[in-house]
């Protein structure tokens, strides 16, 4: 039987990192080996790192936190997050805690379909080439599927072909063939690139042109994940605030992001605050996720918000997110980096789509945390309270002094390095 995680761990925030790791590993049923990998202890040996990229000189450490309280589609998740910014893990955990009594997050995904583009130049009859390529679709798909027996055996492989025409480009007309490939549990870049290169000579011959680019598109608009959360207004009645007012404030904050690209960029940055850390912790390609998310946000020609917040029946706050997520459980660093492997075991996801659904839910939770703070106290109160520990470190605090100095500067209401130095020196 697969392990059932309970993502609600009381007082997780108050534990020392070692005790926290013990509790998290127990809750997720992790082995000692995976526990050590999450702790970063020898997780990535230098010779392994040297095999991953070029000109390696060392390793670069980042804090790995665990967001608690997540329930997605009725299953609990402890979510690994590799991130340098304070308040991100706390904010995600907080919103997941609020959503938990109301069923948490509901999420779904399309099939994991990626696109590869084959660019053909110098075609005399672009319309004719389009027809010839579409007529040869079965032959082209069979050729694309002829090498990757494993993927095809798993039910994946090339499933469709599209042909896009650009009549007016700086270098004349262009025919661009798209391979639509079900990449199953892979991110899929290498998979679809290999297919695009394989079919290129045949495409060249059929289109009577010259093939240049053969590469995936990071605008993975046929690989979408959606998540939804619904909170009754009373769930938002915190610190004496009226829940209905908070819900309205969240909707109004989102409205600006929908119409104004200046706000949308920050709104979406807040969403990526939740998404990127999970992508990084699981060894996935965060540049691909970023590129896909922002291209999707601008797909109608105007950059807009990736989430929507509405007041639903009975005054409930309803939040939704939809974005392309090309995440894998195989391929890239997901299988080579021991800490990424341990992070995936902590998450206890069985398919890439399940991972995408958790990641989209974390993005939605993160957005709610930011909008709730912005619509009420402002971002600085909660964020700076947690940033105070960084300020204490900057002021020279070490060990137990970090928390002591941070508590004191928060209490004094002056979260600055000067005040932290004064507290540290006992002035």
Binder of ligand NDP out of 116, 183, 306, 370 (CB under 6 A):
183
**CA–CA dist 198, 194 (Å, integer):** 6
Is 68 a binding residue for ligand NDP by CB under 6 A? The answer is no
Residue nearest to ligand NDP (CB): 331
Strands annotated E in 34-185? 64-72, 75-82, 105-109, 113-121, 157-166, 174-182
- Between the two ends of the chain, the Cα-to-Cα distance in Å is 59
Give the residue with the Cβ less far from ligand NDP, 276 or 285: 285
Min CB(339)–ligand HMG separation in Å: 21
Is 264 a binding residue for ligand HMG by CB under 6 A? The answer is no
Is 13 a binding residue for ligand HMG by CB under 6 A? The answer is yes
Min CB(236)–ligand HMG separation in Å: 12
Give the residue with the Cβ less far from ligand HMG, 7 or 357: 7
> How big is the site for ligand NDP, counted in residues (CB under 6 A)?
23
Q: Which residues of 251-278 are buried (b: 16+ CB within 10 A; e: fewer)?
A: bebbeebeebeebbeebbebbbbbbbbb
Min CB(345)–ligand NDP separation in Å: 16
Tokens, residue 51: 């095999």
- From 7, 82, 149, select the one nearest 337 (Cα to Cα): 82
Residue 379 binding result from ligand NDP, ligand HMG, none, given CB thresholds of 5 to 8 Å by partner type: ligand HMG
Is 243 a binding residue for ligand NDP by CB under 6 A? The answer is no
Give the residue with the Cβ less far from ligand HMG, 188 or 382: 382
**CA–CA dist 352, 390 (Å, integer):** 35
Is 273 a binding residue for ligand HMG by CB under 6 A? The answer is yes
Residue 417 binding result from ligand HMG, ligand NDP, none, given CB thresholds of 5 to 8 Å by partner type: none
Which CA distances in Å does 27 have to 64, 74, 85? 17, 17, 25
Is 116 a binding residue for ligand NDP by CB under 6 A? The answer is no
For residue 173, the tally of other CB atoms under 10 A from its CB is 19
Catalytic site positions: 85, 269, 285, 383
Min CB(219)–ligand HMG separation in Å: 23
Task: State the angle between helix axes of 352-375 and 243-259 in degrees (0 to 180), rounded to the nearest 10.
Answer: 110
Q: What are phi and psi of 217, to 5 degrees?
A: -105, 135
Binder of ligand NDP out of 27, 95, 113, 216 (CB under 6 A):
216
Report which secondary-structure segment, H or E, holds 368. helix 352-375
Tokens, residue 73: 């589609």
- Output DSSP code: residue 12: G
Answer whether 121's CB lies under 8 Å from 171's CB. yes
Task: State the angle between helix axes of 17-28 and 338-347 in degrees (0 to 180), rounded to the nearest 10.
Answer: 60
Binder of ligand HMG out of 6, 210, 266, 351 (CB under 6 A):
266
Give the residue with the Cβ less far from ligand HMG, 88 or 306: 88
Q: Is 185 exposed, middle or buried (0-12, 13-18, 19+ CB in 10 A)?
A: buried
Looking at residues 274 to 293 of the shown chain, list those that interact with ligand NDP (rule: CB under 6 A). 285, 288
Is 382 a binding residue for ligand HMG by CB under 6 A? The answer is yes
Choose the stretch contacting ligand NDP; rule: CB under 6 A; options: 24-32, 95-103, 131-139, 186-194: 186-194
Count the helix, strand and coil residues of the chain and give each as a percent rounded to the nearest 5: 50, 20, 30
Give the residue with the Cβ less far from ligand NDP, 3 or 147: 147
Looking at residues 195 to 224 of the shown chain, list those that interact with ligand HMG (rule: CB under 6 A). none
Report which secondary-structure segment, H or E, holds 224. strand 224-231
Looking at residues 138 to 177 of the shown chain, list those that interact with ligand NDP (rule: CB under 6 A). 148, 150-151, 154, 156
Min CB(70)–ligand HMG separation in Å: 11
If DSSP codes are grouped into helix, strand and coil, which group holds residue 64?
strand
Is 267 a binding residue for ligand HMG by CB under 6 A? The answer is yes
What is the DSSP annotation of 256-292? HHHH-HHHHHHHHHHHHHHHHHHHHHTT--HHHHHHH
Is 199 a binding residue for ligand NDP by CB under 6 A? The answer is no
Give the residue with the Cβ less far from ligand NDP, 19 or 142: 142
Q: Which residues bind ligand NDP (CB under 6 A)?
A: 148, 150-151, 154, 156, 183-191, 193, 216, 218, 285, 288, 328, 330-332
Q: Which residues bind ligand HMG (CB under 6 A)?
A: 13, 85, 87-88, 90-91, 93-94, 97, 266-267, 269-270, 273, 369-370, 373-374, 379, 382-383, 386
């Amino acid at each position: 039987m697969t392990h059932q995680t309970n993502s609600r761990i009381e007082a997780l925030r108050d534990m020392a990192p070692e005790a926290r790791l013990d509790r998290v590993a127990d809750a997720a049923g992790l082995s000692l080996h995976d526990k050590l990998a999450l702790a970063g202890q020898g997780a990535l040996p230098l010779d392994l790192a040297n095999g991953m990229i070029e000109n390696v000189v060392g390793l670069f450490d980042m804090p790995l936190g665990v967001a608690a309280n997540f329930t997605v589609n009725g299953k609990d998740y402890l979510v690994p997050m590799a991130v340098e910014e304070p308040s991100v893990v706390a904010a995600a955990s907080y919103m997941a805690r609020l959503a938990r009594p109301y069923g948490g997050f509901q999420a779904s995904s399309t099939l994991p379909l990626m696109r590869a583009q084959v660019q053909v130049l110098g075609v005399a009859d672009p319309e004719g080439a389009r027809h010839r390529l579409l007529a040869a679709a079965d032959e082209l798909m069979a050729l694309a599927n002829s090498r990757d027996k494993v993927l095809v055996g798993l039910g994946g492989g090339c499933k469709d072909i599209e042909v896009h025409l650009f009549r007016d480009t700086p270098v004349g007309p262009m025919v661009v063939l798209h391979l639509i490939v079900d990449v199953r549990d892979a991110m899929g870049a290498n998979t679809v690139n290999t297919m695009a290169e394989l079919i290129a000579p045949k495409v060249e011959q059929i289109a009577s042109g010259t093939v240049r680019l053969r590469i995936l598109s990071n605008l993975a608009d046929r690989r979408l994940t959606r998540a939804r959360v619904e909170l009754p207004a009373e769930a938002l009645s915190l610190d004496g605030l009226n829940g209905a007012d908070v819900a309205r404030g969240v909707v109004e904050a989102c409205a600006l992001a929908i119409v104004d690209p200046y706000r949308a960029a920050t709104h979406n940055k807040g969403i990526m605050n939740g998404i990127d850390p999970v992508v990084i912790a699981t060894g996935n390609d965060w540049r691909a996720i970023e590129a896909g998310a922002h291209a999707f946000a601008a797909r109608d020609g105007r950059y807009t918000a990736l989430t929507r917040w509405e007041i639903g029946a009975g005054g409930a706050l309803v939040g939704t997110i939809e974005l392309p997520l090309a995440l894998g459980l195989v391929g890239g660093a997901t299988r080579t980096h021991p800490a990424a492997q341990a992070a995936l075991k902590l998450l206890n996801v069985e398919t890439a789509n399940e991972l995408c659904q958790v990641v989209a839910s974390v993005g939605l939770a993160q957005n709610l945390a930011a909008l709730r703070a912005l619509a009420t106290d402002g971002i600085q109160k909660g964020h700076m309270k947690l940033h105070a520990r960084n300020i204490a470190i900057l002021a020279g605090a070490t060990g137990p002094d970090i928390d002591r100095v941070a508590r004191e500067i928060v209490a004094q209401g002056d979260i600055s390095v000067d005040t932290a130095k004064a507290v540290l020196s006992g002035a």
